[in-house]
C-alpha cells in the first residue's frame, strides 16, 4: 500500500514543496510560542500561579 502512495506522490508536479512548507510552519509556530512565553510578564505568571491557592470564590 505504501508503494502505491509513494508512486502517486512522485507523479504529482510540485509536491516537494509541501514538506518544506510544513517544516516552516512548524518552526515559526514554535519560535513564536517561545517568544510569547519568554516575553510574558513575570507578575502575571505569579498572579496566575497563585490562583488555585486563593480562598476567593469567583462567581
pLDDT, tens only, 3-40: 887 787 778 888 888 889 999 999 999 999 999 999 99
- What pLDDT does residue 57 have? 62
Residue pair 31/39 in contact by the 8 Å Cβ criterion: no
- What pLDDT does residue 30 have? 98
Predicted TM-score (pTM) of the model is 0.58
Residues 6+ apart with CB under 8 A from 9: 15
Q: What are phi and psi of 50, to 5 degrees?
A: -90, -10
- What pLDDT does residue 29 have? 98
Better pLDDT: 32 or 59: 32
Arithmetic mean of pLDDT, 40-59: 81
Cα separation, 16 vs 24, in Å, equals: 13
Amino acid at each position: 500500500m505504501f508503494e502505491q502512495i509513494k508512486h502517486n506522490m512522485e507523479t504529482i508536479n510540485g509536491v516537494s514543496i509541501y514538506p518544506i512548507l510544513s517544516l516552516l510552519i512548524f518552526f515559526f509556530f514554535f519560535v513564536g510560542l517561545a517568544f510569547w512565553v519568554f516575553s510574558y510578564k513575570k507578575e502575571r505568571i505569579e498572579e496566575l500561579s497563585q490562583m488555585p491557592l486563593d480562598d476567593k470564590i469567583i462567581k
